Amino acid sequence: MAVRSTFRATLVRAIRLARIVIAGPGAWQGLALYALVLGLSFVGVWVSVRLIAWNKAFYDALEQMDAAAALTQIGVFFALVALSAGCWLTGDWFRKKLLILWRARLTARALDLWIGNRAYWLMRPGFGTTPVENPDQRVAEDCRLFIDRFIEFTLDLVSEVVSLVSYVAVLWSVATFALGFTLFGLGIEIPRYMVWLAPVYVVVATAITHLLGRPLKRQYFDREKVEADFRHALVQLRDRADTVAQSGGEGAERRRLDDRFAAVALNWRRVMRAELILGLFSRPYFQTVLRMPTFFALPAYFAGALTLGGLMQLASAFSSVTTTLSWFIFEYRKLAEFVAVCERLDGLFAAAQAPAPLPAAPRAIQREVSDDGALRLDGLRLATPAGNWLDPVPHRVIRPGKVFLITGASGRGKTTLLAAIAGLWPWGHGRIERPAGRFLFLPAGAPVLGDGLVTAACHPDDPDRHDPARVFAVLTRLGLAPRLTAPQGEAALAGLSMGERQRLGLARAVLNRPDWLLMDEATSALDPAAEADLLAWLRTELPDTTLIIVAHRTPLGVSADDVLRIGPAEPERKSA
Ligand SMILES: Nc1ncnc2c1ncn2[C@@H]1O[C@H](COP(=O)(O)OP(=O)(O)OP(=O)(O)O)[C@@H](O)[C@H]1O
């Protein structure tokens, strides 16, 4: 029952995933390549069938001491091998082309859902109902593995069925003799016993393989997870290199990495054990499967029903049938991996299709497009994902082109309000009317996005859309020009101070020219003179942009047209 439901679930998942790559515009190209590869594998099957007949011709020539006939057969052999190799190499070439074509389609779909639906934001642990572990690995690794195995298995399956029919036909015509024996005084005769023996042999072996190999699927599933967790911890160490080094956190990092690696080692030991148990049966099976037919046919050979050539031909046909039928046994490990990959990847696609935020807090924020260009916050109260209410947000209408300050004590919900205005924060109730137009958000902590100074300064715009002279002028005005002479790429961003990162944020604002600029403590690290100078410059560069500023005080260089305070007023400091 469990076997059937795993099989059915994997089939449904594999079909769902396969439809993504097989259907859609330009699908004919992939299908044409697939048909070509399939056709070439049929030629390969024909060569194998032809080689079975060749066995008889060659060994009979040897038995009859016919040198000329043997020589001819050697020529035939090389011709068949050349044809087989040619087909294999061509097939392999086009299979690889197909692999990258379909992988690109599947990866593009995964990225569309992951990025396009903002699933990457909502499916983080603590945010969504279905947090997805290691999505990066699923997009990068699992897409490749799925396509690789899908092509391999479906091609195998079709060509194995064709091979099976061809080989059974040969076996039927060769193994004409019966097996006779007495059981409890009864004379029993099994006609063409070698034909029946092949499937019985394989069915028994398959059942044993599945019984012994069942735990492997779980272990392979876990392996991907623990390996990805370990890799992720290493990437985090690289990203937080400064913080770890400055806070002497090497010991803590080492413990974290050791813990993650211990999980890798534990899983490895479990995989080893499961593979050993499977190997105890499958290894001897691999080695005997080609020899057994000769032993099974010996009674007929000694009874004189077969020539040596006939025996060889029979052995060849029988082992071809058993090898074809044993596909499940030979591929068991890969099949177990495939089941795990389908489960992981389908889970990612399903969750990313409709990422659902945690249901702990109400999601009753009404969002509308304002028709007079103003931003309205009406009866708004936000909550954390766990359902804790934050302070109510006072009613406000923010007119375009104004400077608007949001203030309040720490932890009251200022950043959360910006996220709600940006359309991200789903928890809470009330109403947000947002005008059309471009919004740009400069988050707290001034994170830098992009893999070079120019990309980071233009983000999220494409840097190719910007005049390099203008980008250079903006960066120079912000005092970042010296960084342009450093080697570009990630190295150009290394070690940027907080103030420099905030200046880079201002470059983004000036180059992107948004209608609405949301600044979360975006100038807090600048010295008063630089803050006053740069914000005054920003205002002259973007005179019509509405500035929504989150800060504990109005930044120097601009004056606020309105102030929105969340929560009670901060207590005034008494002067000494
Ligand atoms: N993802 C989250 N999960 C749980 N709680 C959250 C989450 N995001 C924010 N909060 C909580 O919501 C509250 C408001 O956070 P927010 O960052 O908006 O505060 P803030 O007013 O901007 O604070 P600060 O001035 O210190 O930056 C805080 O108590 C915070 O811990």
CATH number at 436 reads 3.40.50.300
Q: According to DSSP H, which parts of 379-452 are helical?
A: 414-421
Q: Are residues 341 and 442 in the same domain?
A: no
Q: Give the Cβ contact number of residue 112 at 10 Å.
A: 11
Q: Are residues 349 and 457 in the same domain?
A: no
Sign of the Cα torsion 399, 404, 410, 416 reads: positive
Nearest to 87 by CA among 54, 46, 53, 52: 46
Among 384, 407, 424, say which to mutate for ligand 1: greatest number of ligand atoms within 8 Å of CB. Answer: 384
| The pLDDT of residue 130 | 64
User: Whose alpha carbon is nearest atom 31 of ligand 1?
Assistant: 411
Quick check: 95 pLDDT over 50?
Answer: yes
Split into its structural domains, the chain has a count of 2
Cross-strand partners of 258: none
Q: What percent of the chain has pLDDT over 70?
A: 94
Mean pLDDT of the chain: 86
| The pLDDT of residue 487 | 62
| The pLDDT of residue 180 | 67
| Angstrom distances, CA of residue 179 to CA of 197, 355, 514 | 11, 64, 87
pLDDT band at 81 (very low <50, low <70, confident <90, very high): very high
| The pLDDT of residue 416 | 93
CA of 510 to the centre of ligand 1 (A): 28
Quick check: 378 pLDDT over 90?
Answer: yes
553 or 75, greater pLDDT: 75
| The pLDDT of residue 40 | 92
Tell me, yes or no, whether 81 lies in a domain.
yes
3-state secondary structure of 14: helix
CA of 439 to the centre of ligand 1 (A): 21
Q: Which of 114-123, 184-193, 340-349 has the highest mean pLDDT?
A: 340-349
- Give the span between the Cα atoms of 139 and 495, in whole angstroms: 30
421: Cα within 13 Å, side-chain hemisphere: 32
User: Whose alpha carbon is nearest atom 8 of ligand 1?
Assistant: 384
Question: Residues 506, 456: contact at Cβ < 8 Å?
Answer: no
Which of ligand 1's atoms lies nearest the C-alpha of 418? 18
Which of ligand 1's atoms lies nearest the C-alpha of 386? 4
CA of 292 to the centre of ligand 1 (A): 70
Tell me, yes or no, whether 288 lies in a domain.
no
- Give the span between the Cα atoms of 476 and 507, in whole angstroms: 10
Tell me, yes or no, whether 98 lies in a domain.
yes
179 or 258, greater pLDDT: 258
Q: Are residues 327 and 411 in the same domain?
A: no
CA of 383 to the centre of ligand 1 (A): 10
User: Whose alpha carbon is nearest atom 30 of ligand 1?
Assistant: 411
Q: Are residues 554 and 446 in the same domain?
A: yes
| The pLDDT of residue 539 | 92
Q: Which residue has the tokens 């594999």?
A: 14
| The pLDDT of residue 574 | 45
User: Whose alpha carbon is nearest atom 19 of ligand 1?
Assistant: 411
pLDDT band at 534 (very low <50, low <70, confident <90, very high): very high
Q: According to DSSP H, which parts of 422-497 are helical?
A: 453-458, 468-477, 481-484
Continuous segment of H or E residues that includes residue 409: none
pLDDT band at 473 (very low <50, low <70, confident <90, very high): very high
Quick check: 74 pLDDT over 70?
Answer: yes
Question: Residues 320, 163: contact at Cβ < 8 Å?
Answer: yes
Residue 14 in tokens: 């594999």
Q: Give the Cβ contact number of residue 326 at 10 Å.
A: 23
Q: Are residues 391 and 332 in the same domain?
A: no
Quick check: 53 pLDDT over 60?
Answer: yes
pLDDT (average), residues 42-66 = 87
Q: Are residues 478 and 382 in the same domain?
A: yes
pLDDT band at 106 (very low <50, low <70, confident <90, very high): very high
Burial of 47 (0-12, 13-18, 19+ CB in 10 A): buried
CA of 411 to the centre of ligand 1 (A): 5
pLDDT (average), residues 324-339 = 84
Tell me, yes or no, whether 255 lies in a domain.
no
| The pLDDT of residue 66 | 92
Domain housing 374: 363-565
Q: Which range among 13-22, 60-69, 487-496, 556-565 shows the weakest confidence by mean pLDDT?
A: 487-496
Q: Are residues 493 and 443 in the same domain?
A: yes
Tell me, yes or no, whether 252 lies in a domain.
no
From 353, 376, 392, the end of a domain falls on: 353
Q: Which of 184-193, 317-326, 470-479 has the highest mean pLDDT?
A: 470-479
pLDDT band at 70 (very low <50, low <70, confident <90, very high): very high
| pTM of structure | 0.70
Question: Residues 349, 113: contact at Cβ < 8 Å?
Answer: yes
Bond prior to 460 in cis (omega within 30° of 0):
yes
Residue 99, amino acid: L
CA of 415 to the centre of ligand 1 (A): 7
Q: Which of 117-131, 235-249, 540-554 has the highest mean pLDDT?
A: 540-554
pLDDT (average), residues 508-536 = 92
Question: Residues 359, 129: contact at Cβ < 8 Å?
Answer: yes
Quick check: 408 pLDDT over 80?
Answer: yes
ipTM associated with this complex: 0.95
Residues with CB under 6 A from ligand 1: 126, 384-386, 390, 408, 410-416
Q: Which of 12-21, 124-133, 314-323, 325-334 has the highest mean pLDDT?
A: 12-21
Q: Which range among 2-6, 110-114, 504-508 shows the weakest confidence by mean pLDDT?
A: 2-6
Quick check: 261 pLDDT over 90?
Answer: yes
| The pLDDT of residue 4 | 65
User: Whose alpha carbon is nearest atom 7 of ligand 1?
Assistant: 384
| The pLDDT of residue 469 | 92
Q: According to DSSP H, which parts of 189-249 are helical?
A: 193-213, 216-239, 241-246
Q: Which range among 74-78, 104-108, 336-340, 474-478 shows the weakest confidence by mean pLDDT?
A: 336-340
- Give the span between the Cα atoms of 151 and 149, in whole angstroms: 5
User: Whose alpha carbon is nearest atom 29 of ligand 1?
Assistant: 411
User: Whose alpha carbon is nearest atom 16 of ligand 1?
Assistant: 413
- Give the span between the Cα atoms of 485 and 476, in whole angstroms: 12
Nearest to 417 by CA among 425, 409, 142, 265: 425
- Give the span between the Cα atoms of 292 and 304, in whole angstroms: 19
- Give the span between the Cα atoms of 506 and 394, in whole angstroms: 28
- Give the span between the Cα atoms of 284 and 365, in whole angstroms: 65
| The pLDDT of residue 243 | 77
Quick check: 183 pLDDT over 80?
Answer: no
Question: Residues 142, 345: contact at Cβ < 8 Å?
Answer: yes
Q: Are residues 43 and 136 in the same domain?
A: yes
| Angstrom distances, CA of residue 61 to CA of 52, 56, 305, 354 | 15, 8, 18, 69
Q: Which range among 94-103, 254-263, 319-328 shows the weakest confidence by mean pLDDT?
A: 319-328
Which of ligand 1's atoms lies nearest the C-alpha of 413? 18
Quick check: 380 pLDDT over 60?
Answer: yes
Q: Give the Cβ contact number of residue 74 at 10 Å.
A: 13
Q: What is the CA radius of gyration of the chain?
A: 35
Among 123, 389, 390, say which to mutate for ligand 1: greatest number of ligand atoms within 8 Å of CB. Answer: 390
- Give the span between the Cα atoms of 216 and 231, in whole angstroms: 22
Q: What percent of the chain has pLDDT over 90?
A: 38
| The pLDDT of residue 357 | 67
pLDDT band at 575 (very low <50, low <70, confident <90, very high): very low
User: Whose alpha carbon is nearest atom 5 of ligand 1?
Assistant: 384
Tell me, yes or no, whether 238 lies in a domain.
no
- Give the span between the Cα atoms of 167 and 45, in whole angstroms: 9
CA of 374 to the centre of ligand 1 (A): 26
Q: Are residues 446 and 379 in the same domain?
A: yes
Tell me, yes or no, whether 231 lies in a domain.
no
User: Whose alpha carbon is nearest atom 9 of ligand 1?
Assistant: 384
Q: Which of 166-170, 359-363, 561-565 has the highest mean pLDDT?
A: 561-565
Which of ligand 1's atoms lies nearest the C-alpha of 521? 27
- Chain center to CA of 198: 40
pLDDT (average), residues 50-56 = 86
End-to-end CA distance of the chain: 80
Q: Which residue has the tokens 């945690």?
A: 358
Helices 27-63, 2-22: inter-axial angle, 10-degree rounding? 120
Q: Which range among 152-161, 379-388, 400-409 shows the weakest confidence by mean pLDDT?
A: 152-161
Nearest to 434 by CA among 478, 483, 372: 372
| The pLDDT of residue 34 | 93
Residue 111, amino acid: L
CA of 222 to the centre of ligand 1 (A): 34
How far is it between the farthest Cα atoms of the chain?
119
From 289, 320, 353, the end of a domain falls on: 353
User: Whose alpha carbon is nearest atom 24 of ligand 1?
Assistant: 410
Quick check: 32 pLDDT over 80?
Answer: yes
Which of ligand 1's atoms lies nearest the C-alpha of 417? 18
Q: Which residue has the tokens 């699933």?
A: 119
- Give the span between the Cα atoms of 143 and 105, in whole angstroms: 9
Q: Are residues 328 and 422 in the same domain?
A: no
Q: Which residue has the tokens 């109902």?
A: 129
Tell me, yes or no, whether 134 lies in a domain.
yes
Q: Are residues 337 and 465 in the same domain?
A: no
Q: Which range among 228-242, 280-294, 451-465 shows the weakest confidence by mean pLDDT?
A: 280-294
User: Whose alpha carbon is nearest atom 18 of ligand 1?
Assistant: 413
Quick check: 38 pLDDT over 60?
Answer: yes
| The pLDDT of residue 490 | 66
CA of 412 to the centre of ligand 1 (A): 7
Which of ligand 1's atoms lies nearest the C-alpha of 550? 22
Q: Are residues 313 and 422 in the same domain?
A: no
Task: Determine what percent of the chain falls in helix, strand and coil, rounding each to the nearest 5.
Answer: 65, 10, 25
| The pLDDT of residue 334 | 86
From 353, 371, 389, the end of a domain falls on: 353
